[in-house]
Amino acid sequence: MKKSILASVFLLLFISVSCDDSFEPKADFSEKYILNCIINGDSTTQYATISKSFDVSGYDPYTNQNDPFLRNMYLELMYKGKAYRMRDTLVSRLGDSRYPGPIPVYYLPNFTPNDGTEIKIRAYPGEGKILSASTRSLNPNNFYFSSSNRTIPTGNAYGSTLRFTWKEFFPDQSLNQEIFFAPDLILVYYKVENGVEKRHQIEFPMYLLSQEGKDVGIYPPIANRISTVGFEEPAIDSIMRSISTGDPNKSNYIIDKAYFRLLIMDKYLATYYSAQQTFLDEFSVRINQPDFTNIDGGLGIFGAYITKKITVDLEKFYVDSFGYRKK
């Protein structure tokens, strides 16, 4: 099952490919620099991190206590013939970390490249090394929803499919091959716990597949050249029931809304995203996952994405049928 992609502030805070764990244990160590930057075409601020691989005396990479993320580096984004130097700052770490203190992050404010033109990044970690990469920014005006259901249920007979369809337009049709889509449908609800409404969200599968006597949800893949996705109502019903499994107090569940989210990304981010098998709310990269890089002179990822959303309302009679309340 997918886990959620978009962090509210910065996807890259969770990228940690700095450990040399991906290489053969105790082979000849070769220090490498890792540059990560994902261009968010919906944001006015862009972020990057730079780190380096490390060696340890034994075989356990978690014994390393020296923070691999680097400060005071020179990073720049190049766009439409102009270079923009990224500023450095410190951000509090999220979750448990064996490294003390905040994480060094580079950012560029008031910068939203989203017109479909080329953008480059370059970093100078020292010792004459240069890390570089290029991609193409994504233009949100090239994508639009053509026809989509806006309510659950759809208004048709039960057993119908909630469908979303979009179109893309490029003057240069060859660019279609470089665009990938990651669609999902998410339910937002609240559960009353100790008198307090706590927000939750859960993803709907497209359909259910019977495996060894159990229904398993099948979720949308990341794909190129797709323009529609459907969610069968039995699959939607199963998620609606599941949020209160084992809890007889159904009225403690308050249904807010659902929303369909279409993540549109370049081929580099799509490849990286697929290889890591992670999803939405953050790119949470594990150090034992397969490596992918498009950084010349080092490791890491330089990619781009934008997001399109549609709010989907859940009819009150449908919410009532589960014993829940409508927000």
Measured CA angle at 262 (ends 178, 245), to 5 deg: 135
Average pLDDT over residues 292-304: 92
Which pair of structure tokens corresponds to residue 21? 């764990």
Which pair of structure tokens corresponds to residue 124? 């100078």
pTM for the full model?
A: 0.83
| pLDDT at residue 173, rounded to an integer | 65
My answer on whether 297 and 314 are in the same domain is no
Could you tell me what percent of the chain has a pLDDT over 90?
55
Alpha carbon 100 to its chain centroid, in Å, reads 26
My answer on whether 97 and 199 are in the same domain is no
Distinct helix (H) and strand (E) counts, the chain: 3, 20
My answer on whether 243 and 127 are in the same domain is no
Average pLDDT over residues 138-153: 86
Instruction: Report the 10 Å Cβ neighbour count for 265.
Output: 26
Mind listing the pLDDT tens digit for each residue in 44-84? 999 999 988 766 666 666 666 677 888 899 999 999 999 99
Highest mean pLDDT pick, 86-100, 157-171, 234-248: 234-248
Average pLDDT over residues 233-238: 95
Instruction: Report the 10 Å Cβ neighbour count for 308.
Output: 18
Give SS3 for 51.
Answer: strand
| pLDDT at residue 190, rounded to an integer | 98
- Give the confidence band of 141 by pLDDT, cuts at 50, 70, 90: confident
Any bridge partners for residue 134, and if so which?
120
Contact 40, 64 (CB under 8 A): no
- Give the confidence band of 116 by pLDDT, cuts at 50, 70, 90: confident
When divided into structural domains, the chain yields a total of 2
Range of the domain at 295: 11-139+267-305
Which of 303, 298, 304, 302 lies closest to 51 in space, CA to CA? 298
Average pLDDT over residues 106-135: 93
Q: How far, in Å, CA of 171 to CA of 314, rounded?
A: 38
| pLDDT at residue 172, rounded to an integer | 64
Average pLDDT over residues 22-45: 78
236 pLDDT exceeds 90?
A: yes
Alpha carbon 57 to its chain centroid, in Å, reads 35
My answer on whether 127 and 236 are in the same domain is no
Q: How far, in Å, CA of 108 to CA of 212, rounded?
A: 51
Which of 46, 37, 102 lies closest to 69 in space, CA to CA? 102
Q: Which residue has the higher pLDDT, 162 or 21?
A: 162
Is residue 209 in some structural domain?
yes
Q: Give residues with Cβ within 8 angstroms of 245, minimum separation 6.
A: none
| pLDDT at residue 56, rounded to an integer | 63
My answer on whether 135 and 145 are in the same domain is no
| pLDDT at residue 291, rounded to an integer | 65
My answer on whether 70 and 83 are in the same domain is yes
